[in-house]
Amino acid sequence: MSETEKFDAIIIGAGPAGSACAYTLAKAGRSVLVIERADTPGAKNVSGGRLYSYALEMVDPGLCEDAALERKVTHEQIMMISRDKAISIDYFNPDFNRTDNVPHSYTILRAKFDEWFAGKAEESGAMVICGVKVDDLIVRDGKVVGVIAGEDEMLADVVVAADGVNSFIARKAGLVKEISSHDVGVGVKETIELSSKTIEERFNLKEGEGTARVIMGCTEGIPGGGFLYTNKDSISLGAVFFPEQVAKHGKSVHEIFQNLKMHPAIHPLIDGGETVEYGGHLVSEAGYRGLSETLYREGFLVIGEAAGFVINTGATIRGMDLAILSGLAAARAIIGEEDSSKVGPAYVKELNCTILPSMKAVVGYKNLLETPTLHKSYPNLAADVFGQLFTVGGHVPESMKRSVPRLIKANGLSLWQLVKDGIMGFKAV
């Protein structure tokens, strides 16, 4: 391409971050090229399943009305699994199912959602090409000016990396290091097809309503956790594990995940369903501490999970909304600055108004989630205590004052350990 044929921006990756950036730039009249490695947007993505609607509405009010969404999340659930027992907390808030405004969040299927969002960017004027791998960056006088894909060279004022966790392009730009096993989780997910009527009956939902469930104690003591989301005609069930601990465990991720599927509290929910998708994915777990010292260089920005924009507090897992906001922040910086040397600082300024304060606020949660006792001892203790509380027989029941200390000891804990973990948890939150 000649210098006169270059784009205002080339975006690598057609996930939520890349499409949000492309959509916003194209709506502003900028020439945009999106390059996606998969055959279609979302084809390689198996992450699971919830979008907080505010982010999409910030890109363009009313965008949710047209989006490829599944169910409105009205039930927030936390489940603790212990051996063959389980405890579930169900939080229902009618405000999450608002009719006068956009509902709080939706379950989604990434293959459908990503393809829809990339299509909206195309409708707005962006060019989206799929099945193309970007091999390198073009750098002149220290500035990134384009990309190389096979034998093709494509030029742009700004290149935006939105190619997900373990970003090859961000490493090429010298902004991120090789990924560390301590900073990521290994996620697996199945999409299990069931009729909408069956899903609504099993989860006590009305038509169009959905459940988002976080599962603790399902990783056989390995730091991590599980999730379950109800879609229109399917269930997304998955789990995330810290890879360093998996290597020491002796069982494969697949074996542990199959045990989760067969748990007496989980299997009845998916019984009779057909698995239509199964896959694995690296998940960023480092949070704010894992962000690169700089998220840009002249002519180049990093957005979405490529930049590490993920929040995991145990009760909520946020990635897609942060990805969309980072794409929006990048687009606003590009639109607002004609001087390419000022785009990077403008991008960080935008992030400081949206994503970064939220990530800083929960920076301590990673310490809490890495606590070994949280993933086995405490779910087991909780199940034993509830079992003692609800069991009725012909014998004289043991007082809770005596049984709780006994159960604490039986689960390898001590009162001092509970105090230490409580203090650490308080500091984390």
Is the domain of 125 the same as that of 29?
Answer: yes
Q: Comparing C-alpha atoms, which of 307, 305, 311 is closest to residue 292?
A: 307
Domain contains 102: no
The CATH number of the domain holding residue 247 is 3.30.9.90
- 276 with 320, same domain: the answer is no
Indicate if 117 and 20 belong to the same structural domain: yes
Looking at the structure of the chain, the number of domains it has is 3
The pLDDT of 165-177, averaged and rounded, is 87
pLDDT at 345 over 90: yes
**Same structural domain for residues 310 and 372?**
no
Residues 61 and 121 in one domain: yes
Could you say which of 227, 256, 284 is where a domain stops?
A: 284
Are residues 326 and 235 part of one domain?
no
261 shares its domain with 304: no
Q: Is the pLDDT of residue 284 over 80?
A: no
**Residues 248, 203 share a domain:** yes
Contact in structure between 87 and 388 (CB atoms under 8 Å): no
One domain for residues 316 and 172: yes
Rounded to the nearest 10 degrees, the angle between the axes of helix 16-27 and helix 320-336 is: 30
Q: Is residue 98 part of a domain?
A: no
Q: Residue 92 domain-assigned?
A: no
Residue 298 falls inside a structural domain? yes
pLDDT: is 234 or 182 the higher one? 234
pLDDT band for position 23 (50/70/90)? Answer: very high
Q: Which residues pair with 339 in a beta bridge?
A: none
Q: Considering the domain boundaries, does residue 57 fall inside one?
A: yes
Whether residue 171 is found in the same domain as residue 189: no
Do residue 315 and residue 385 come from a single domain? no
* Angstrom distance (rounded) from CA 195 to CA 205: 13
pTM above 0.85, yes or no: yes
Is residue 273 in some structural domain?
yes
Mean pLDDT of 361-382: 81
Q: For residue 117, give every residue at least 6 positions away whose Cβ sits within 8 Å of its Cβ, in sequence order, or none.
A: 14, 16, 19, 20, 23, 41, 67, 68
Take residue 208 and report the two structure tokens written for it: 């169009």
Q: Is the pLDDT of residue 97 over 80?
A: no
Bigger pLDDT: 411 or 424?
411
| Tokens at 385, concatenated | 């205590």
Does position 224 have pLDDT exceeding 80, yes or no?
A: yes
pLDDT tens profile 114-164 = 999 999 999 999 999 999 999 999 999 999 999 999 999 999 999 999 998
- 137-to-91, 154, 155, 178, 280 alpha-carbon distances in Å: 48, 9, 10, 18, 28
308 and 335 both lie in a single domain: yes
User: Is residue 239 in a domain?
Assistant: yes
Average pLDDT of the segment spanning 344-360: 93
Which range marks the domain in which residue 414 is found?
367-428
